[in-house]
């Protein structure tokens, strides 16, 4: 099993997208990419922790590879929106790929370039690609939030 960590706005919708992906064995929502240890949701919402709402994915590389996960990542949000997704605004909603290895970093950088050159976007991709830092699991009520409420996606999509 391998790990992948993505930030693409509110973590609830991102999590359900990846939970429904064959080859993904586990997901967790949390906070990554910031400078505050053990952040809370309330602290992250202030924008002062540096963390993004993120989803940590455990996947079976025999069933789905990292490049395929990146394809899903690009499709599940608008990577040209700087520090926002839809109605959610702030650095905690930024688009980011947190890489767990040099190989993931190389694949992510190539994928971002391919996406930018694809003609799919009218604006530049703002997605941050950085080494994975500590992933802080969010409070339990955030885990599988939409599924617990019988929702298939966030309301604004």
pLDDT tens sequence across 19-66: 999 999 999 999 999 999 999 999 999 999 999 999 999 999 999 999
Q: Which fold has domain 2-148?
A: 3.30.1060
Longest dimension (CA), the chain: 40
76 touches 17 (CB < 8 A): yes
Report the C-alpha gap between 69 and 118 in whole angstroms.
Answer: 18
The residues spanned by each domain of the chain are 2-148
Predicted pLDDT at 76: 93
The pLDDT value recorded for residue 140 is: 87
Full strand arrangement of the beta sheet holding 136-137: 128-131, 95-99, 2-8, 52-59, 24-32, 136-137
Q: What is the DSSP letter of 139?
A: P
* Residues 146, 35: Cα–Cα separation, whole Å: 28
- Percent of the chain topping pLDDT 90: 85
Stated pTM of the model:
0.93
Confidence of residue 146 (pLDDT cuts 50, 70, 90): confident
Nearest residue to 102 via CA among 76, 132, 126: 132
DSSP β-bridge partners for residue 85? 88
Question: Which residues are known to be catalytic?
Answer: 10
The pLDDT assigned to 156 comes to 41
pLDDT bucket at 153, cuts 50 / 70 / 90: low
Q: What is the pLDDT of residues 122-135, one digit of tens each?
A: 999 999 999 999 99
Helix (H) or strand (E) holding 53, with range, is strand 52-59
- pLDDT of residue 106 exceeding 90, the answer is yes
> What is the rounded CA–CA span in Å between residue 19 and residue 27?
6
Q: Is the pLDDT of residue 155 over 60?
A: no
């Amino acid at each position: 099993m391998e790990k992948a960590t993505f930030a693409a706005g509110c973590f609830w919708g991102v999590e359900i997208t990846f939970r429904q992906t064959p080859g993904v064995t586990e997901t967790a929502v949390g906070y990554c990419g910031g400078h505050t240890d053990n952040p809370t949701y309330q602290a992250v919402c202030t924008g002062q922790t540096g963390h993004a709402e993120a989803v940590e994915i455990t996947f079976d590389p025999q069933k789905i590879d990292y490049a395929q996960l990146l394809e899903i990542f690009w499709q599940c949000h608008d990577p040209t929106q700087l520090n926002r997704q839809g109605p959610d605004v702030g650095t905690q909603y930024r688009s980011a790929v947190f890489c767990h290895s040099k190989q993931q970093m190389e694949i992510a950088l190539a994928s971002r370039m391919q996406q930018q050159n694809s003609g799919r976007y009218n604006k530049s991709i703002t997605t941050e690609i950085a080494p994975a830092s500590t992933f802080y699991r969010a409070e339990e009520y955030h885990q599988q939030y939409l599924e617990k409420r019988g929702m298939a996606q966030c309301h604004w999509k």
